[in-house]
Amino acid sequence: MPRTRRAAASKPEQAVCVIVQGWPRISTTFIAQELVGLEQEGLKLRLATFGQSDKLRHSIHDQLKAPVRRLPSALRHPLLAARAWRKVRRRPGFKRALTLFREDMAHAPSAKRVNDFGRGIMLAAELPGDVGMIYAHFIQSAGSIGRYAAAILDLPFAASAHAKDIWTTTEWDKEAKLAQMEWLTTCTRPGADHLAELAGDPAKVHLIHHGLAFARFPENPPARPPRDGSSPADPVRLLTVGRAVEKKGFDVLLDALGGLKQLEWRLHHVGYGELIGDLQGRARSLGIAGRVEWHGAEEQARVIERYRASDLFVLPSREAGNLDRDGLPNVLMEAQSQALACLSTRFSAIPELIVDGETGVLVPPGDVDALRAALEVLIRSPGERERLGMAGYARVRSEFQAERGIAEIAALLRGSMRS
């Protein structure tokens, strides 16, 4: 009998290790949306996370199939870090990672940087052999951890930058990380232009608006009564969604509404955050506490119900004192997906979504008088709200589909993975 040749062993499917800070986080549904979309594109993911997570989760978090590994603090668990170090210290890439760490510490020594290096070592020690790439969301700690682990394992490294991480990270740190990255995506034109200036090869930087996966949102716009701010029994329903932090500008919104007591309106805030107590105190001092409802964090299905039941969405984004800022706020796209008229600011990437006077209204960031004037017009004008809401609905659904960007990211990941 002639010998039969044994079938060649099939090549194992490569996986992407994705690093995120906190999972699940209800304030970063765009990341969950992207990861679920990448799995639907056929990519195999392994998720590594660190830091605090939220107890509340959206339904999209449950759709992710990837296993989740939580990286402990290296400073709080030195024995775990030492065990990982013994496992990877003889790898050829460890010396390179140690050099990168020493260079980073020479620029800005900190316990946080030590912790990032320790977590990078732990991640490298635990990654299975099928991982062909490391991809970080946000370029601060997640980017540092991914950078060190990729150096140890000699794997390609890429990242997605968004807003706060771009503008609060030092230029030398961004330049160092960009030099190691295969590519980087970001969701705003100002961020993309800034990062391209720092990259040795500007072509590394890709502008990809994260958009929305509209299958998760009701398709048909709701019918809204023509409320005009004249009826105490049926006030205009204002909605804002976001963490109670400085960059959202909720104090500016309260100050603006404090000058509109002659109109009938109710403001609903959805979110959590460190400034909730301060904002509630501000509403009391302005004499409008009875007109503001603070709902705290809510599951996305409930937030969608609020979009559909509201008359006007307001998000007065601005730059915070620590340079933190929004990128392209998902909540604006979500509101527009339900044909809810939007009032926001001419800041960051918001004008890339909202065309002032056509698909929404934009005012200068931090300008209380301009915001108050725009609020007064829109509270009094149900017809104008309807026009803006329908125009925003048409534009966001035609030009900000998440699937386009996810397909582009999937192609970048496949093109960079290494056996």
Alpha-carbon distances, residue 232 vs 173, 215, 227, 269, 337 (angstroms): 55, 37, 11, 20, 29
Single-letter code of the amino acid located at 90: R
Q: Is 7 within the bounds of a domain? A: no
The residue assigned the tokens 């004192």 is 321
Q: Are residues 143 and 207 in the same domain?
A: yes
Q: Is 3 within the bounds of a domain? A: no
* 3-state secondary structure at position 49: strand
- The predicted pLDDT at position 419 comes to 63
- Residue 19 C-alpha from the chain's centroid: 14
Return the half-sphere exposure (C-beta side, CA atoms, 13 A cut-off) of residue 56: 13
Q: Are residues 366 and 408 in the same domain?
A: no
Q: Is 258 within the bounds of a domain? A: yes
* 361, 342 contact by CB (below 8 A): yes
Q: Domain holding 141: CATH number?
A: 3.40.50.2000
pTM: 0.90
Q: Are residues 191 and 245 in the same domain?
A: no
* 344, 281 contact by CB (below 8 A): no
Q: Is 367 within the bounds of a domain? A: yes
What distance in Å separates the CA atoms of residue 365 and residue 218, rounded to the nearest whole number?
A: 31
Q: Is 378 within the bounds of a domain? A: yes
* 34, 402 contact by CB (below 8 A): yes
Q: Percentage helix, strand, coil, to 5, in the chain? A: 45, 15, 35
- The predicted pLDDT at position 242 comes to 96
Strands (E) located in 324-418: 342-345, 361-363
What distance in Å separates the CA atoms of residue 363 and residue 355, rounded to the nearest whole number?
A: 12
Single-letter code of the amino acid located at 356: D
Residue ranges in the chain whose pLDDT is less than 70: 1-12, 419
DSSP letter for 401, please.
Answer: B
- The predicted pLDDT at position 361 comes to 98
Q: Is 406 within the bounds of a domain? A: yes
Q: Are residues 234 and 174 in the same domain?
A: no
* 275, 303 contact by CB (below 8 A): no
What distance in Å separates the CA atoms of residue 140 and residue 202, rounded to the nearest whole number?
A: 20
Q: Are residues 227 and 376 in the same domain?
A: yes
Strands (E) located in 258-341: 265-270, 292-294, 312-315
Q: Are residues 190 and 238 in the same domain?
A: no
Report how many domains make up the chain.
Answer: 2
- The predicted pLDDT at position 2 comes to 37
- The predicted pLDDT at position 1 comes to 37
Q: Are residues 252 and 345 in the same domain?
A: yes
Q: Are residues 105 and 135 in the same domain?
A: yes
For 23-60, how does the pLDDT look when each residue is reduced to its tens digit (9 = 90+)?
999 989 999 999 999 999 999 999 999 998 998 999 99
Q: Are residues 293 and 153 in the same domain?
A: no
* 49, 142 contact by CB (below 8 A): no
* 328, 29 contact by CB (below 8 A): no
Q: Are residues 148 and 251 in the same domain?
A: no
Q: Are residues 236 and 193 in the same domain?
A: no
What distance in Å separates the CA atoms of residue 193 and residue 262, rounded to the nearest whole number?
A: 44
Q: Is 175 within the bounds of a domain? A: yes
Question: Nearest 10 degrees: CA dihedral of 122, 126, 132, 134?
Answer: -30
| Enclosing domain of residue 315 | 215-399
Which among 329, 323, 325 has a CA at the least distance from the CA of 344?
329
Q: How do beta strands 265-270 and 292-294 pair?
A: parallel
Strands (E) located in 190-325: 205-207, 236-241, 265-270, 292-294, 312-315
Task: Please state whether the peptide bond connecting residue 24 to the residue before it is cis, i.e. omega within 30 degrees of 0.
Answer: yes
Q: Is 6 within the bounds of a domain? A: no
Q: Are residues 272 and 307 in the same domain?
A: yes
